[in-house]
Structure 1
Amino acid sequence: MKPILSHAVRAACLITVLTTSVHAQNLAIVNGKPVPTARLHALEQQMARAGRPLDDNARQQLREEAILREIFVQEAERRGLRARPEVKAQLELATQTVLIRELFADEQRRRPVTDAELRAEYDRLAKEMGQEYRARHILLGSEDEAKAVIAELNKGARFEELAKQRSKDPGSAAKGGDLDWASADQFVPEFGQAMARLNKGEVTREPVKSPFGWHVIRLDDTRAAQVPPFEDVKPQLQQQMQQQRLVLFQEALRARAKVQ
């Protein structure tokens, strides 16, 4: 009897090992059909891409979702829905979507944006930012009103006081017309160009017309543009450069394709 028992024990152990292996590869068995663990991993990757936290509770919900998906698909297969032409077309589109997404991800892995490229782009953008201006203005409703204000300034009136009394700009009037530091292109062209032509401490000799009305402008100071530190803008800059590189990749593929 000992050899028989020995064979029985070995067989039981083998069955246990095989069963454990099957469960390791499969999330569950639904109506006799295995649900691969890889499906759960795919759902987890989707959640991670969406930026959602992946804790134990979320994993349990995804496990249940994977099982429900298999149940629903089995019912759809039982009804013969996969054979319908419109379903086939949608499945083809879904396959294309997945492949295109992975193609773009693979391209970004193959051609990542390097730190040297990021630094070079940062330096280029910083150089382009140029100057910032600290200006004040008084916004009036007519050219005559603006000319009258300029005349009062020429006689010694304080710009800040006239701005508080006369300016129609609610955002700056209470601050004596102060517009804080800004680059010229942050204003409408008429205003920005007139401001940039002024010397420090100078007031516009003629009113400046813009879509908002008539301006009297004084330039208080200038400085080199204040650029955020490289590390602060690095993530946004990297995303932007990756997207630009991906657009060039798409355009190159389109140009090489033979479309008849």
Structure 2
Amino acid sequence: MRLNTQIIGALLLTGAAITAQAADPASVNGKPIKQSLVDYIVKDATARGQKVDDNIRAIILNKLISSELVAQEAQKSGLDKQSDFLAKEELMRRELLVNSYLQDYIKKNPISDATLKSEYDKYKAAMGDKEFKASHILVKTEQEAKDVIAQLAKGGDFAKIAKEKSLDPGSKEKGGDLGWFPPAAMVKPFSDAVSKLQKGSYTTTPVQTQFGWHVIKLEDARDAQPPAFDKVKDELRNSLQKQQLEKLVADLRAKAKIVDNSKTAVK
């Protein structure tokens, strides 16, 4: 005995509808809480190392139900039609889209270990082969720096003068102590002056930088001790990825037709 093909089709459609309804774990005033939302939250939590069991799934579903209830009330009050909300919604959607694209770009264009190692070698070269421990007294004018040098020449205590006169808040209370640093960590006029000093001596000529005038004392020097590759690997990767994304945006701007109508004409 043959079943009518129309009846079979109707049964299949009914079964598909029942399956679709069952796929969503809940509904609020007739609006379904999509299983895809639950799945995404579970996936995100799992990726962050959280163990998701039935209890956590129930909490996730309960929060989605509560948020849907509030969202429906917000829609009833017309908040979703207000200009501020629409602008914020557009900006958030754009930011999400941009971040998703940039993450995907980084994933598809990974920084190789060879590139990281090359960057590390450049980093070590920039650090130099020496590290210095120095103190300084920062003042506003060249004459003030000369007066400090004159005080030191008469036997003045460097640390005491630094506490009294230095304008550098980071080192002033420590008697001008800057700790250990590689030459690359300081602006060039400062590092050049330090590298010419003998241990225990200070600059007899004021050193000018964009921060003011310095009197510098070399406390000690040693061979450079750069951090191991594994310790700075992630930092180097982040730096290279930032450069990579900046270049991507610059290239997109270069190829795009951008019309800026915000600037008023100069009269």
Aligned with 1:37 (options 35, 38, 50): 35
Show the counterpart of 1:146: 149
2:193–2:203 Cα contact (<8 Å) kept = no
Show the counterpart of 2:62: 64
Distance 1:98 1:185, change over 3 A: closer
Q: State which structure, 1 or 2, has the greater radius of gyration over its C-alpha atoms.
A: 1
1:113–1:238 Cα contact (<8 Å) kept = yes
1:146–1:216 Cα contact (<8 Å) kept = no
Q: Is 1:242–2:236 an aligned residue pair?
A: no
Distance 1:236 1:220, change over 3 A: closer
Q: What SS does the aligned partner of 2:39 have?
A: helix
Show the counterpart of 1:101: 99
Show the counterpart of 1:122: 120
2:128–2:183 Cα contact (<8 Å) kept = no
The one-letter amino acid of 1:217's match is: K
Q: TM-score, normalised by structure 1?
A: 0.65
State the 1:237 CA deviation.
Answer: 1.9
The one-letter amino acid of 2:130's match is: E
Distance 1:162 1:79, change over 3 A: closer
Distance 1:41 1:33, change over 3 A: same
Alignment of 1:44-193 (within 5 A): 44=42, 53=50, 56=53, 59-76=57-74, 84=81, 86=83, 90-135=88-133, 143=146, 146-147=149-150, 149-150=152-153, 162-163=157-158, 167-169=161-163, 171=173, 173=175, 180-184=179-183, 186=185, 191-193=190-192
State the 1:187 CA deviation.
Answer: 5.1
Distance 1:178 1:32, change over 3 A: closer
Provide the rounded CA distance (Å) in 1 between the counterparts of 2:38 and 2:118.
Answer: 41
Provide the rounded CA distance (Å) in 1 between the counterparts of 2:203 and 2:257.
Answer: 63
Show the counterpart of 1:217: 217
Distance 1:254 1:72, change over 3 A: same
The alignment-based identity, stated in percent, is: 25
**CA RMSD in angstroms, aligned pairs only:** 4.2
Distance 1:120 1:184, change over 3 A: closer
1:138–1:162 Cα contact (<8 Å) kept = no
Q: What SS does the aligned partner of 1:192 have?
A: helix
**CA-to-partner distance for each residue in 1:18-50, whole Å, 9 max, x for gaps?**
868754x3231223332111112334566678x
Q: What SS does the aligned partner of 2:26 have?
A: strand
The one-letter amino acid of 1:168's match is: A
Distance 1:60 1:254, change over 3 A: farther
2:136–2:177 Cα contact (<8 Å) kept = no
Show the counterpart of 2:193: 194
Provide the rounded CA distance (Å) in 2 between the counterparts of 1:85 and 1:178.
Answer: 57
Provide the rounded CA distance (Å) in 1 between the counterparts of 2:52 and 2:214.
Answer: 60
The one-letter amino acid of 1:249's match is: L
**Bigger mean CA deviation after superposition, 97-106 or 179-188:** 179-188
1:132–1:184 Cα contact (<8 Å) kept = yes
State the 1:118 CA deviation.
Answer: 1.4
Distance 1:70 1:214, change over 3 A: closer
State the 1:111 CA deviation.
Answer: 0.7
Provide the rounded CA distance (Å) in 2 between the counterparts of 1:67 and 1:37.
Answer: 12
1:134–1:222 Cα contact (<8 Å) kept = yes
Unaligned residue ranges in structure 1 (runs of 5+): 1-10, 153-160
Q: What SS does the aligned partner of 2:149 have?
A: helix
Aligned residues: 230
